[in-house]
Structure 1
Amino acid sequence: MSGSAAWRPMRADDLSAVAAISDAVHGAFTEPAAVYAERLALYPLGCHVLAQENEAAIGYLIGHPWPAGAVLPAIGKPIGAVPEGADGYYLHDLALMPAARGRGAAQAAVARVLAQARAEGARAVMLIAVNGADRFWRTQGFAEVPGDPPYGDGTMTMQLAIDASR
């Protein structure tokens, strides 16, 4: 990434910016701010924002442990708890404003997710691709999981098997 934009841990005071980024990037697939607040409260290790020093966030990343092969969390709904002993990692969301794209921020976010998933002993990272993001995720090694589109047409579940020992 150029400039001083960098990933840092998400804070409660970032949540309004996170919701605004989601609204701008995801359109019909945006979620209420309460969903992001819950994920931050339940698993802060998986919540990050991309920002320049003393500036508002221009991107965010949220992930948490989740059982591999299980139904992924529903859009816009709380999960209540991060499952204990989960053998997978759910990449809930990666969203970047247009100004943050093309600077390596997405690849740096994926590296963070993989490192955290390995630290948790996960055997796979799962996500739901929306709005054509499957093209990006395929370049990162993710593959479509056969099945019905989780949020309707144009969405798909994707997965990347990982070696937790690396």
Structure 2
Amino acid sequence: MKNFSWHQMQEDDLPEIDQIMQQTYPHLPEDIDCIRERVRLFPHGCHVLRQNDEEAILGYIISHPWENRSIPPLSSLLGALPFKAEVYYIHDIALLPEAQGIGAARAILEQLNQIACSLYINKFALVALDTAFEFWRARGFRAIHEQILKEKL
């Protein structure tokens, strides 16, 4: 795939994002209002992947500053972002099959790193599915097993 690019997510993108979520994570349904809130709270961390700037959405990422060793419960409203965020949290990333293996994830992670640095945050956090563990490990992430985190999943 040529000419892919990430764009800031817009509210108009949410129906397509909902469809991609249902395709990629059918066992982890998330209320679209939760995504809408994250876009409102931190638009700089919410992006969609398109080919040739105009076509259908091929993927998305939702991220925001957050507290260290804490994860927002899935499908929950945040209300607000923490005043003193310690980590940059990747809430969700999904790429349709045709957008995998083309460097799209690497490109957006570089962008998110710049955003995190601009906020003086030098740590990232996420919850990974077992099937994605190797993907994240290859990018420098490591597993943390804590009961308090498991309770929020």
Q: Scaled by the length of structure 1, what TM-score is found?
A: 0.85
Q: Secondary structure at the match of 1:28?
A: coil
Runs of 4+, deviation exceeding 6 Å: none
Match of 1:158 in 2: none
Match of 2:110 in 1: 111
Superposition deviation, residue 30 in structure 1: 3.1
Q: Secondary structure at the match of 2:13?
A: helix
* CA–CA distance in structure 1, aligned partners of residues 99 and 130 of structure 2: 18
Amino acid at match of 1:54: E
Q: How many residues align?
A: 151
Superposition deviation, residue 42 in structure 1: 0.6
Amino acid at match of 2:88: Y
Amino acid at match of 1:59: G
Residues 95-106 of structure 1: matches in 2 within 5 Å? Answer: 95-106=94-105
Higher relative contact order structure (alpha carbons within 8 Å, sequence separation ≥ 6): 2
Amino acid at match of 1:137: W
Match of 1:59 in 2: 59
Whether 1:87 aligns to 2:81 is: no
Match of 1:163 in 2: none
Q: List gaps (5 residues or longer) in structure 1.
A: 156-166
* CA–CA distance in structure 2, aligned partners of residues 127 and 22 of structure 1: 17
* CA–CA distance in structure 1, aligned partners of residues 67 and 27 of structure 2: 27
Deviation digits for residues 65-100 of structure 1, max 9, x if unmatched?
Answer: 10122x200111111111112121111111100010
Q: Secondary structure at the match of 1:144?
A: coil
Match of 1:68 in 2: 68
In structure 2, the CA distance between the partners of 1:114 and 1:151, relative to structure 1 (3 Å rule), is farther
Superposition deviation, residue 150 in structure 1: 2.8
* Structure with more of its chain in helix, by fraction: 2
Superposition deviation, residue 109 in structure 1: 1.7
Identical amino acids, percent of aligned pairs: 34
Q: What's the RMSD between the two structures over aligned residues?
A: 1.7
* CA–CA distance in structure 1, aligned partners of residues 116 and 28 of structure 2: 24
